[in-house]
Amino acid sequence: MRLPARVSAATLSAATALVLATACDLLPDDAPDTAAAPYARLTGPEVTNKALAATRAAKAVRMTVRTATPDGPVEAYVATDVRGACTVTLSMGAAGTLELVRTGGTVRTRSDAAMLRAASTARGPRGDAEVKRLTGRWVEPGDDDRQAKTAERYCDRETFLGLLAPTSGTARKGKATAPASRTAPALAVTGGADGRKWSASIATDGRPYLLKLRAAPGPDGTGHGAAPVTVEFSEFGKPFTVQQPKP
The string of DSSP codes covering 144-188 is: T-HHHHHHHHTT-THHHHTTTGGGGGG-EEEEEE---SS---EEE
- Looking at the DSSP bridge assignments, the partners of residue 202 are 187, 210
Question: Would you state the pLDDT for residue 19?
Answer: 33
Give the whole-angstrom CA distance, residue 141 versus residue 185.
41
DSSP character string of 98-114: EEEEEETTEEEEEE-HH
Highest mean pLDDT of the ranges 6-10, 70-74, 88-92, 143-147:
88-92
User: How confident is residue 67, by pLDDT bands cut at 50, 70 and 90?
Assistant: very high
Please give the residue that has the higher pLDDT: either 85 or 24: 85
Burial of 104 (C-beta count, 10 Å sphere; 0-12/13-18/19+): exposed
- Could you tell me if 140 and 246 are in contact, meaning their C-beta atoms sit under 8 angstroms apart? no
Contacts of 90 (CB under 8 A, 6+ apart): 74, 75, 76, 97, 98, 99, 100, 147, 150, 151, 154
Cα torsion 164, 168, 173, 176: sign: positive
pLDDT, tens digit, for every residue of 1-22? 443 443 333 333 333 333 333 3
Q: What is the mean pLDDT of residues 129-154?
A: 87
In this structure, the chain runs to a length of 247
**pLDDT at residue 235, rounded to an integer:** 96
Q: What is the pLDDT of residue 51?
A: 97
pLDDT in tens, 159-208: 999 999 999 999 999 998 865 546 788 999 999 998 889 999 999 999 99
**Edge-to-edge strands of the sheet including 210-215?**
106-111, 97-103, 86-92, 72-81, 60-69, 229-234, 210-215, 196-203, 186-193, 172-177
pLDDT of residue 128: 76
Name every residue whose Cβ is closer than 8 Å to that of residue 54 and which is 6 or more positions away in sequence.
Answer: 207, 208, 209, 210
| Average model confidence (pLDDT) across the chain | 80
Question: Where is average pLDDT lowest: 24-38, 41-55, 184-198, 201-215?
Answer: 24-38
Q: How many CB atoms lie within 10 A of CB 188?
A: 16
Nearest in space to 63 (alpha carbons), one of 200, 218, 241, 230:
230
pTM: 0.78
Mean pLDDT, residues 73-82: 95
pLDDT > 70: percent of the chain: 76
Q: What pLDDT sits at residue 168?
A: 96
Q: At a CB cut-off of 8 Å and minimum separation 6, what does 114 contact?
A: 94, 95, 96, 97
pLDDT confidence of residue 92: 85
DSSP H or E segment with residue 17? helix 2-30
Is 221's pLDDT higher than 70? no
Q: Is residue 124 very low, low, confident or very high in pLDDT (cuts 50, 70, 90)?
A: low
